[in-house]
Structure 1
């Protein structure tokens, strides 16, 4: 499928309603502003897309939105994602198609007519109805038209009419009816005798118009007229006639070609909107208004693939399909999106004097004047000479248009360009509140003062004290104060003097409550000045001199993505959130972004352009052009369905299709590449349909949106699954969810048959085991008798053994009691040792305290008494009697410990033996020091020497070694 690059193809289908200029770029002399809808897109389908003959004769659409096209190969079927071809039995071309009220699709070819059916696997086939005719009536030649009228399906050929009702067919001889149409359930037929009607109940003809009344011309089409009882006849030479069924009168209506023209009308339809579309031989499509008057179109309208339009069709979505001599074109009339201008990056747009001005990276473009017209607007844009290069913004003050440009500041007056000297690199111009007719010119490197006087603008001076880029600037409610946001340096608060000549106060905020100094923008919203960041929206708190979160907006937008633009217009707030455009209404927190999905990622960062025209229309500029949006577009999701069109998989090197109608299809466990194909043919905008899917049982959530109309699963485990898919277009339309339930069969050894075999085998095993058990019982009884004798002998031995066991148990109990006694005594010894340690620590502390007291006591007698006490305490501390008591108690508890030590290490000293006893008790160095009356360092040294005496490695634990030595 090839989509034209949104060229100015068809300007259309709009009502130009002028309303007062409102919103950005306003001034007191604002002109009227038009509601604009630009160029709808044309989707081109070529033979490369549908792989068939490109000459297309007929078209219809079924209830699911699937399109059927008749060409020289047969019937092309398009579901919005894929093309299929169904051939007639005689391989003739299909000249007529009809989707009837009974839901069937009928096709007619050469000596052939019938129905196109879709089976449960999603495959289409042709079912001939020729057998309902007698053999002599089957020479029909081409079936040129099929009609659903008066509860009959009527097939028209040049030789006869075939009518089918209630599966019964009858023929009506034809006198060369070369055209037919159905209007208000009335069948109109045209031959050389004129225009007639046929009553299928009475099989009677009524002559309405004779050829002389329409100048003996060939009738190309008949369409409903402006009034209910009127019809419009279009002739091939380009004339139209109005016929009144009540008065039976006809009058010449319009002529659409000149007398010397070789052009012809080949087809015509009346759209649901009331317009007439004429397919011509050499000038593509003509459009008429409801009164039948041609709508003037520019040459750019003629952008179809081919000049010859064989037929026209309006789909249920409201799009116009042109069936060409070479291809198929869909004119996306129903889309709310249209193109005004492209091929340049739009940074700003304004409407002034009935023209649209666009500031782009290539300069400033202006449209021709918008002419009020009830149906169409034809706009051509041209570049204004002298403004080539980067243009940033457009403003209108005092009836003059100012263009802020990379090359400076310019005044635009039609094609006359006046540069205001003294400036370069200008972002925009803003009025200064409190200083009438004065404006700040915001440049790359600071701010200049601009004055309007005597009908012209002039630069007065450069504002002193601020040299940063001032693209993002707004005047504060505080007197003579402005806020400036820099994309990388944070926020500046500027205080100017009375005449705005100097910056007298400057505060630079890099954080102060802001998440970072990067990507900050400032806007006015509901009388608040708000600052948007990468982590939410903030306002400035004057009391605390810092930034606080703006709860009302953060609840709408969240704090995860940056809101780069905020613009209020009446009851709507427009925004750019990250890379998506949208709006919300004052009484709603819902963000409306669906209509603008295809613009995602196309905005000029920091210079996003949004221009609301009125409450229902908005212009949006992007890096690819300028687009118009109709907000009144309403979709009806209940009428749009996502279709699962095919399910197949690979099994034993074959492609197997599954039924789409089954409630729960079963797929073999060894199946691979399970493929689901889907489409959403009833979406209005088929240019960029996206799908999201989920496989319940595998996917935890819906997939990301993708343009791929299929999903493949290489392998699935046995179990039950439900595949779900939904669709959307890039204008916010959604199609309801489609589901497909199926199961993957278990492997052979887990099937029901296998499980039954397992149960049968288990039963055999149980029965066989029962017989073996019985046999074994008989054998065991015999063995029992023989063994009873042995048991008596064994019993006596066992009694002896029991006596020995009881004796052993008594010994074990005594041993346990002794061990418990040892443990108890060990605990007592440990407690005694700890008390001893505490006592010696207390005496040591007391001695130190007495020493300090001796120094402060002045009485000599008291000093002598304290000196005696200190000496007694020292004698007590040096007394090793407690060590002997400890050793005696330790030897009683561990009577063989010292013996073992002396046996293995006979050269150990008494102090080393004491240290071994204390270490065995798992005392720390700090606890051992007072017991041995040595310092902590002395204990460490003694332990180090002891390790050497015991020949212990550095990694070996001394406590564990002593425990092993003697438990």
Structure 2
């Protein structure tokens, strides 16, 4: 935004303040629990960037505006002095001095210089001061001065105690000794003559100011040495320094001097104005004992006996703070007859002779202070009073005087909103104020404004807006117009204003205006940009807004090119919620009510300050991953994936007080944001290359040149180049193996198919062979059966023939002939050739039958085997008898005997046993 200004407010507190000093510069307190070290800070110094170094009991404190770091000496001794020269920070301690330098990680490393001292032994010395003079560094203890130059150290003895040293007129001076002041000449200290006034006085500090040497004593104030003449400093502040034990003197730009004391904090003297202010514990310091002072870029750093404080010496915004709590919350401010009045929740206060005083009998809540015809009216919880310094005059007894507004086109007529309605104030010809309630309004009215002489708008705290038409006498309501929820959705805590003769309404963060022609509520386009911002002040040309919904930021604008803002974090929640108020004293001075005082804003000074403000590029303090702190010399930070879950880095703008930052993260993940701290943290970023551009945001909203930080998160091991090569190899191997597997599978399938086909072929052939064999067996069985039956038939015929022969034996001519014939018949029945043929055919069908029988039943005879063969063929006894040439009875007997030999139970068929054997 063109002409956009922003300011971060920090203030200082004090209780019994003077108006000449009732508004004071901001003070920032850094407490022990902030910097986590000891309480005492013996010396302070600031480098070119604005970073602070403090000589603390615990070590060297470093503060870059974002982070405190305590650096301890190897021997853990107290550091008494510190001085910055280029990139070295020199410190002095007990029998030890040296310097610190930042390493590649941004941390301080210590280098001792005492080893350069040859043939010398310390005598319990502590080094209380370090200064640079004539291309050399001088270290001061209470007894000796050490000169460090060209990597050599020279010991310079001094008679007496050395309490301070300073460069003056291109020469080095020290304080102490037997006569008071010495100057360094030809490598030794020479006493300055004619300083008898210093005899018996303890010199505590010396400083070169305006070509004069200021000599500060412990209890006798300051003396001025110029052109060889010593005089006591003739100024009222010197009386204060005598009372409060002077401890340090530091000049700073614009002819100003800071005097640090042991008992009363610091005195800031303005030579041009010839005035001074005192800052102590009652006015915002943490401690009244100032051990050290350092000035840098309109800021004073104070090393205290308990803490560290920082003072903005040229702040365009100053503050009054009531630390006692007696004043309470300020609700309104008025300035009349050169007297400043405060209205608070505890009563009315005014400044008399720069001392804040309470107006007697004004106790109670004050809502409004209004100047009418050079008279001050106070809207009070118990009524409305006319105030004149320390006196009150009751004007109206109606409770709760809120806002008083003038009636248009009428002299000496005003309306006031109250707890119970609206009252009319009229001044009669005698100069007396008369008050009467307006009939027709019986609800609390916190705000009101005129649309015209007879039309007034009233804001109810809970029920919204009312448009009231009054009679000509302005003592009664003739018409009340309310507005539906369609026009104004929310009626709670609404506000009404007259802006350039337009009725402007604020409700639920939205700005509206009343269109009198259409008699309707419309959105107010002029304030569209300030949605969610309430109006604290307007004069038709300039406006003060506050963002009460989000940032609590305050804006000052003319709705065109002139704008400034006051950030909420600067106000530290000191604004009065829902009762924020801005009071104009003149064209450039505005007052802002606070919960414990007020702020004074000098717009002219503020604009000049912002115009000359240089916004520094932020410095990189550190860069860390989950395990490591990286060297700041790297252009790109390489982070292992396993350590990338938490990445943090810090940038700082040490010379600014709590600045904001704007950053842009680009890469695998993108972010853009404003932040209130220079420490950024990123969690679980994806792997890849990143770039962060981070800039300091100044108090006027400008963005500095960005600090570019590049870092790369390596891929996880399973996504590294080696892993990818392995993955490619594995992939190719998988392809190869899959192809090989498929080929083998195809081959196996082909082989299985071929084997299957072969098996099928073999099975088919076997089946054919089996069928053929079965047919052959069947045929042989048939043949065997047929042959056997034929033999049996033949034998049966022969046997029948034999029987016939036997029966006709007597018919044979001779017995021999008969016998021969019978013998031949018997031979035919028992023909061995028939049996052999039978046996051959039988064995072809049952090749091992006889062997198995004999193996299991070795007692079987050939006849038994023959019977077994016939039974296996399932021949009946009748069929067997002719084959064996015996009778049927003989077969049965033989079967019986065979059963016994075969040990077959009577329940089992003999033929069945043999068939299955």
Does the TM-score normalized on the shorter chain lie above 0.5?
A: yes
Q: Distance in 2 between matches of 1:260 and 1:48?
A: 31
Q: Normalising by structure 2, report the TM-score.
A: 0.70
Aligned pairs for 1:502-581 within 5 A: 502-510=476-484, 520-534=494-508, 536-554=510-528, 556-557=529-530, 560-568=531-539, 572-578=542-548, 580=552
Say whether residues 1:236 and 2:218 are aligned partners. Answer: yes
Instruction: Name the CA distance, whole Å, in 1 between partners of 2:281 and 2:69.
Output: 33
Q: Take 1:292 and 1:540, find their aligned partners in 2: how far apart are those partners? A: 52
**Counterpart in the other structure of 2:293:** 312
Q: Secondary structure at the match of 2:50?
A: coil
Q: How does 1:700-739 map to 2 (within 5 A)?
A: 700-703=670-673, 705-706=675-676, 710-723=679-692, 725=694, 737-739=706-708
Matched with 2:55 is 70
Contact 1:276 1:287 in 2 (8 A): yes
Corresponding residue for residue 266 of structure 1? 247
Q: Answer whether contact 2:125 2:141 (CA < 8 A) is retained.
A: yes
**For residues 334 and 91 of structure 1, what CA distance do their matches in structure 2 show?**
38
Q: Secondary structure at the match of 2:233?
A: strand
Report the 3-state secondary structure (helix = DSSP H, G, I; strand = E; otherwise coil) of the residue aligned with 1:426.
coil
Match of 2:14 among 3, 8, 19: 8
**Which stretches in structure 2 are left out of the alignment for 5+ residues?**
1-8, 752-917
Taking the aligned partners of 1:769 and 1:411, their CA distance within structure 2 comes to 102
Indicate if the aligned counterparts of 1:317 and 1:334 stay in contact, CA closer than 8 A.
Answer: no
Gap change, CA 1:299 and 1:194, over 3 Å in 2: closer
Contact 1:596/1:730 (CA < 8 Å) preserved in 2? no
Match of 1:445 in 2: 420
C-alpha displacement at 1:583, in angstroms?
Answer: 3.9
Partner of 2:304: 324
Distance 1:206 1:291 in 2: 35
Match of 1:113 in 2: 97
The residue that corresponds to 2:172 in the other structure is 187
CA distance in 2, matches of 1:238, 1:386: 46
Alignment of 1:219 onto 2:203: yes
Say whether residues 1:645 and 2:621 are aligned partners.
yes
Q: Check whether the contact 2:350–2:358 (CA below 8 A) recurs between aligned residues.
A: yes
2:402 corresponds to 1:427: yes
Deviation (angstroms), 1:234: 1.5
Q: 1:482 & 1:765 partners in 2: Cα distance?
A: 88
Q: Are residues 1:253 and 2:233 paired?
A: yes
Distance in 2 separating the partners of 1:529 and 1:741: 55
CA contact (8 A) 1:668 1:744 kept: yes
**Matches of 2:568 and 2:548 in 1, distance apart?**
13
Report deviation, 1:74.
2.5
State how 1:542-941 maps to structure 2 within 5 Å: 542-554=516-528, 556-557=529-530, 560-568=531-539, 572-578=542-548, 580=552, 582-586=554-558, 588-589=560-561, 591-595=563-567, 597-599=569-571, 603-604=575-576, 607-631=579-603, 632-633=605-606, 634-635=609-610, 638-650=614-626, 655-671=627-643, 674-678=646-650, 680=652, 682-686=654-658, 695-697=665-667, 700-703=670-673, 705-706=675-676, 710-723=679-692, 725=694, 737-756=706-725
Deviation at 1:422, TM superposition (A): 4.7
SS at match of 1:593: strand
Tell me what 2:459 maps to. 485
Q: Please say if 1:417 is aligned against 2:387.
A: no
Q: Within the alignment, does 1:495 sit opposite 2:431 as a pair?
A: no
How many Å apart are 1:416 and its aligned residue? 2.5
C-alpha deviation, 1:602, in angstroms: 5.6
Q: Following TM superposition, by how much is the alpha carbon of 1:610 offset from its aligned partner in structure 2, in angstroms?
A: 0.4
Structure number with greater CO (CA < 8 Å, separation at least 6) is 2
- DSSP-derived class of the 2:13 partner: coil
1:198-221 Cα offsets, whole Å, 9 max, x none, are 36xx65767655431534533222
Structure 1 position 398, deviation (Å) = 3.5
1-side partners of 2:379 and 2:124: how far apart? 72
Moved more, 158-167 or 608-617: 158-167
In structure 2, which of residues 361, 380, 385 is the aligned counterpart of residue 386 of structure 1?
A: 361
Give distance in 2, aligned partners of 1:293 and 1:233.
Answer: 19
State yes or no: 1:53 paired with 2:38: yes
Mark the CA change 1:303 to 1:425 in structure 2 (over 3 Å): closer, same or farther. Answer: closer
**Distance apart, 1:403 and its partner CA:** 1.2
Q: Output the CA distance in 2 between the equivalents of 1:76 and 1:276.
A: 26
- Number of aligned positions between the proteins: 727
Greater shift, 303-312 or 506-515, is seen at: 506-515
Q: 1:384 to 1:298 in 2, by over 3 A?
A: farther
Contact 1:130–1:138 (CA<8 Å) still a contact in 2? no
Cα RMSD (Å): 4.2
Query: How far apart are 1:116 and its partner, in Å?
Result: 0.9
| C-alpha distance in 1 between matches for 2:408 and 2:340 | 28
Cα pair 1:422 1:459 within 8 Å, conserved: no
CA offset at residue 301 of structure 1? 4.2
- With over 3 angstroms needed to count, the CA separation of the structure-2 counterparts of 1:160 and 1:597, relative to structure 1, is closer
Match 2:75 to one of 90, 99, 111:
90
Instruction: Provide the rounded CA distance (Å) in 1 between the counterparts of 2:582 and 2:303.
Output: 37
* Displacement after TM superposition at 1:99 (Å): 0.9
What does residue 849 of structure 2 align with?
Answer: none
TM-score, normalization by structure 1 = 0.66
**Runs of 5+ unmatched residues, structure 1:** 17-35, 371-379, 784-967
Question: Residues 324-345 of structure 1, C-alpha deviation per residue, up to 9 Å, x if partnerless?
Answer: 3343333444544433244423
8 A Cα contact 1:97 1:105, kept in partner? yes
The correspondence for 2:266, drawn from 272, 285, 289, is 285
Q: Is the 8 A contact 1:346 1:621 kept in 2?
A: yes
Q: Contact 1:37–1:630 (CA<8 Å) still a contact in 2?
A: no
1:407 aligns with 2:382: yes
CA contact (8 A) 2:16 2:356 kept: no
Specify whether residues 253 and 275 from structure 1 end up closer, same or farther in structure 2 by C-alpha distance, changes over 3 A only: same
Shift of residue 387 of structure 1? 2.8
Distance 1:220 1:422, change over 3 A: closer
Q: Which residue of 1 aligns with 2:822?
A: none
- What SS does the aligned partner of 2:222 have? strand
CA distance in 1, matches of 2:280, 2:175: 34
Higher-Rg member (1/2): 2
Give the structure 1 partner of residue 184 of structure 2. Answer: 198
Structure 1 residue 439, shift from structure 2 partner: 2.0
Structure-2 change in CA distance of 1:648 and 1:437 (3 Å): same
Do the aligned residues in 2 keep the contact of 1:640 with 1:682 (CA within 8 Å)?
A: no
Find the aligned partners of 2:52 and 2:318 in 1 and give their Cα distance: 24
Q: 1:754-805 CA distances to partner (integer Å, 9 max, x unpaired)?
A: 34556678899999999x99x99xx9xxx9xxxxxxxxxxxxxxxxxxxxxx
Q: Quick one: distance in 1 between partners of 2:107 and 2:93?
A: 21
Distance 2:655 2:676 in 1: 16
Change (3 A) 1:695 1:660: same
Q: Distance in 2 between matches of 1:37 and 1:700?
A: 49
Q: CA separation in 2, counterparts of 1:232 and 1:506? A: 75
C-alpha distance in 2 between matches for 1:38 and 1:428: 27
CA 1:460 to 1:284, structure 2 compared with 1: closer, same or farther past 3 Å? Answer: closer
Cα distance between partner residues in 1 of 2:273 and 2:172? 23
